[in-house]
């Protein structure tokens, strides 16, 4: 391999100036840039560090991966075996040393997220390993703490019901507060980057991968909440780098990019109207990072390349037209959507040449890094192109205070994470989002003389949370658990269990994919008791149900959301949420069954 000389500091400052001053947010050639030091302290620091980095160190900064284990230097035999298979090393500390990693990402399934104290010690161990390297550059430590159905942090961290539930409150300030609390608690355990918020506009009710992770089907509401969260994450006293995802917009698909390559058939005008506003709002709010989507978008790039590998989308559109000059990160490179057209070793090279800065979770890290180094050696990737990305990554680390304070303070953990004040604010915000969609004949709130309520639905935790809270509110309740898609025998057993009940509460979740739930509701509606449905995920379930007397949407199955639903049923809480999406007629999708903004209240006498 060719011996790549380290660039001079003067050349690097020229690159920095080009990054800062290019009118369209793109990158000018270093020879065209004004000479001299740009005024930004973060970029000055980044350029000075980059000047002393080897090529291998620079390329390593562009990669983020996970490692198995509860500690950075784990010797647990099972974790070591998994790490050797995945990374070719024993543990995260060895991976950082071997590959000069710029970032790591935590998951529960990789053994990283067991308790706040363990996470803090893991993070500090990760940073110790990074700071022991010649470049002494700390890590971006990330996770996907979206809340709701994508929640990574374990208890006692403060939990929210997720984006759609936040938008249902009608308050962008609630979205910002949730992000501020999340940033504080993540930073308390040493996590300094959150791959959130989801900026996709969920205009397709059948979307299998976004759904309630989106704020809304309304671009303006999604944009307002996205900008509010960006400010909450990044302007907190304890800030984290936020990442708006998934550009150019993953909201109108019925295909999951984890398993296939979705095609978005929006026109350019529709993209501007529906998909672009939240990303534009995020950029205006100063977003640090934007994550790419593994989707084909022919109106934006007719080549058929997924957006992650598309120069017209990543550079021409995101950098050029929208003016974003922060860090672009890929979605996971282990997902099927990005590997469908090209072999895994080609994907990182194509992503970099498309304009991406940070490469997330390649299926074979050693191969991915080797392919990038080989592409630089052959001239397929210019080393100046690598410098552009690494300058952005280093400047971000300096800007977010990671360089000055890479470690988490153990003495602050209990003062910052899962505090009574945080949990109280989260409970109030979650309660404000619960939406009463149907209340025929004033079925709700249930009268105090209700003698027995049966709560039916999938998953013991969901139904038990509702029945327990009803009991607390003075409404005796029992639970009956079914499968997600109950068969005829289960439905018959549920009807038998409901015999004699004075009210029946049914928890539903994604009825479109589980038609047995619709059959269950229809069968229970033949009894004399009123049927109250609580949709604990997407709010669209109502368009496939019959015989419903009252219908609530919680947008999440968190403990707080289900307790709030029970409080609404019992009349302890007057619902104030409004639909952040339009619910279409299932038989005629062009006709709304319930409009965006719909939400019922109880009379003031309640």
Residue 472's CATH number: 3.40.50.1700
Residues 556 and 446 in one domain: yes
Spatial distance between the Cα atoms of 20 and 125, rounded to a whole number of angstroms: 34
Whether 157 and 201 share a structural domain = yes
Give tens-digit pLDDT for 578-597.
Answer: 999 999 999 898 899 999 99
> pTM of the full predicted structure?
0.91
Which of 413, 443, 464 is at the close of a domain?
413
Domain that holds residue 560: 434-594
Q: How far is CA 8 from CA 35, 39, 53, 498, in A?
A: 13, 18, 11, 77
Q: Answer whether residue 124 is part of any domain.
A: yes
- Of 359, 380, 413, which residue constitutes the final position of a domain? 413
What's the structural domain count of the chain? 2
407 and 448 in a single domain? The answer is no
Residue 485 CA to residue 466 CA, distance in Å, equals 20
Residues 409 and 441 in one domain: no
Task: Tell me whether residue 139 is in a domain.
Answer: yes
- What pLDDT, on the 0 to 100 scale, is given for residue 461? 75
Share of the chain above pLDDT 90, in %: 85
Residues 316, 384: one domain?
A: yes
> pLDDT at position 391, please?
97
Q: Which residue has the higher pLDDT, 12 or 194?
A: 194
Q: Is residue 425 part of a domain?
A: no
Please report whether residue 605 resides in a domain: no
Average pLDDT over residues 433-437: 98
Q: How far is residue 22 from each of residues 31, 111, 321, measured CA to CA in Å?
A: 13, 43, 12
DSSP-assigned letter for residue 7 = P
* Contact by Cβ (8 Å): 509, 557: yes
Give which of 101, 193, 81 is closest to 144, Cα–Cα: 193
In terms of domains, do 472 and 395 share one? no
Integer Cα distance of 23 and 319 in angstroms: 10
Does residue 119 sit in the same domain as residue 242? Answer: yes
What CA dihedral angle connects 54, 55, 60 and 63, to 10 degrees?
Answer: 150
Count the neighbouring beta carbons within 10 Å of the beta carbon of residue 164: 33
Of 413, 446, 467, which residue is a domain's last? 413
482 and 365 housed in the same domain: no
Note if 288 is an active site residue.
no
Q: Considering the domain boundaries, does residue 603 fall inside one? A: no
- Distance CA(65)–CA(126), nearest Å, equals 12
Mean pLDDT taken over the chain: 92
The answer to whether residues 352 and 465 belong to one domain is no
DSSP-derived letter for residue 600 is: B
Cα gap 386→349, rounded to integer Å:
11
Give the residue-averaged pLDDT of 167-186: 98
What is the rounded average pLDDT of the residues 325-347? 93
- Has residue 15 got a pLDDT over 70? no
399 and 451 within one domain: no
Confidence of residue 427 (pLDDT cuts 50, 70, 90): very high
pLDDT, one tens digit per residue, over 258-301 is 666 888 999 999 999 999 999 999 999 999 999 999 999 999 99
**Does residue 371 sit in the same domain as residue 513?**
no
For 28, residues 6+ apart whose C-beta sits below 8 A from its C-beta are: 18, 21, 22
Confidence at residue 208, expressed as pLDDT on a 0 to 100 scale: 66
Give the model's pLDDT for residue 417: 98
Please give the average per-residue pLDDT across 421-428, as a whole number. 98
Q: Using CA atoms, how far apart are residues 163 and 161, in angstroms rounded to an integer?
A: 7
Residue 306 lies in a domain: yes
Which domain CATH number covers 342? 3.20.20.300
Tell whether 604 is covered by a domain. Answer: no
**Closest residue by Cα to residue 278 from 290, 267, 266:** 290
Is the CB of residue 148 less than 8 Å from the CB of residue 161?
A: yes
Say if CB 469 and CB 560 are below 8 A apart. Answer: no
Q: Which of 194, 331, 387, 519 is catalytic?
A: 331
Give the pLDDT band of residue 479 (cuts 50, 70, 90): very high
Sign of CA dihedral 473, 478, 484, 487: negative
Residue 101 maps to a domain = yes
23 has pLDDT over 90: no
Are residues 524 and 401 both part of a single domain?
no
């Amino acid at each position: 391999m060719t011996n790549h000389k380290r660039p001079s500091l003067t050349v690097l400052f020229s690159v920095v100036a080009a990054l800062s001053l290019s009118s369209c947010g793109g990158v000018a050639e270093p020879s065209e840039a004004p000479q001299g030091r740009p005024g930004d302290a973060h970029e000055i620091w980044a350029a000075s560090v980059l000047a002393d980095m080897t090529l291998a160190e620079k390329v390593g900064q562009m990669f983020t991966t996970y490692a198995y284990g509860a500690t950075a230097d784990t010797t647990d035999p099972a974790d070591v075996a998994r790490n050797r298979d995945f990374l070719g090393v024993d543990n995260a500390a060895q991976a950082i040393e071997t590959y000069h990693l710029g970032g790591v990402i935590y998951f529960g399934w990789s053994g990283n997220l067991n308790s706040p104290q363990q996470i803090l010690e893991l993070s500090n161990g990760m940073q110790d390993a990074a700071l022991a390297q010649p470049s002494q550059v700390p890590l971006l430590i990330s996770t996907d703490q979206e809340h709701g159905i994508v929640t990574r942090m374990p208890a006692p961290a403060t939990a929210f019901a997720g984006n759609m539930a936040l938008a249902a409150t009608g308050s962008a300030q609630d979205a910002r507060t949730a992000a501020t609390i999340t940033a504080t608690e993540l930073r308390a355990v040493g996590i300094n980057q959150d791959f959130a918020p989801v900026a996709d506009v969920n205009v397709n009710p059948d979307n299998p991968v976004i759904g309630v992770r989106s704020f809304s089907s309304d671009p303006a509401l999604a944009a307002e909440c996205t900008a509010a969260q960006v400010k909450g994450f990044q302007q907190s006293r304890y800030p984290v780098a936020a990442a708006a995802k998934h550009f150019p917009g993953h909201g109108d698909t019925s295909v999951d990019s984890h398993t296939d390559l979705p095609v978005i058939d929006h026109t350019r005008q529709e993209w501007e109207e529906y998909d672009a506003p939240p990303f534009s709002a995020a950029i205006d709010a100063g977003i640090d990072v934007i994550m790419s989507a593994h989707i084909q978008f022919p109106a934006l790039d007719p080549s058929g390349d997924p957006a992650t590998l598309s120069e017209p989308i990543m550079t021409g559109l995101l950098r050029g037209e929208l003016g974003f000059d922060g860090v672009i990160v890929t979605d996971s490179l282990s997902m099927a959507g990005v590997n469908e057209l090209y072999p895994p070793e080609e994907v990182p090279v194509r992503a970099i040449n498309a304009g991406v800065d940070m490469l997330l979770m390649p299926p074979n890290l050693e191969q991915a890094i080797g392919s990038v180094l080989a592409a630089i050696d052959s001239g397929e990737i210019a080393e100046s192109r690598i410098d552009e990305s690494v300058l952005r990554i280093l400047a971000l680390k300096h800007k977010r205070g990671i360089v000055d304070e890479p470690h988490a303070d153990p003495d602050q953990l209990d003062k910052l994470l899962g505090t009574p004040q945080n949990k109280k604010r989260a409970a109030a915000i979650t309660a404000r989002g619960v939406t009463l969609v149907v209340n025929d004949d004033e079925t709700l709130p249930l009268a105090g003389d209700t003698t027995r309520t049966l709560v039916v639905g999938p998953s013991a935790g969901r139904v038990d949370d509702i029945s327990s809270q009803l009991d607390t509110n003075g409404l005796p309740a029992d639970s009956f658990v079914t499968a997600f898609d109950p068969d005829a025998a289960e439905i018959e057993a549920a009807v038998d269990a409901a015999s004699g009940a004075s009210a029946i509460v049914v928890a539903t979740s994604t009825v479109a994919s589980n038609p047995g739930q619709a059959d269950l509701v229809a069968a229970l509606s033949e009894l004399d008791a009123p049927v109250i449905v609580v949709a604990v995920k997407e709010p669209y379930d109502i368009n496939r149900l019959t015989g419903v007397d009252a219908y609530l949407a919680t947008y999440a199955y968190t403990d707080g959301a289900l307790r709030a639903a029970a409080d609404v049923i019992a009349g302890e809480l007057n619902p104030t949420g409004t639909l952040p999406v339009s619910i279409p007629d299932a038989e005629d999708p062009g006709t709304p069954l319930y409009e965006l903004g719909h939400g019922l209240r109880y009379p003031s006498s309640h």
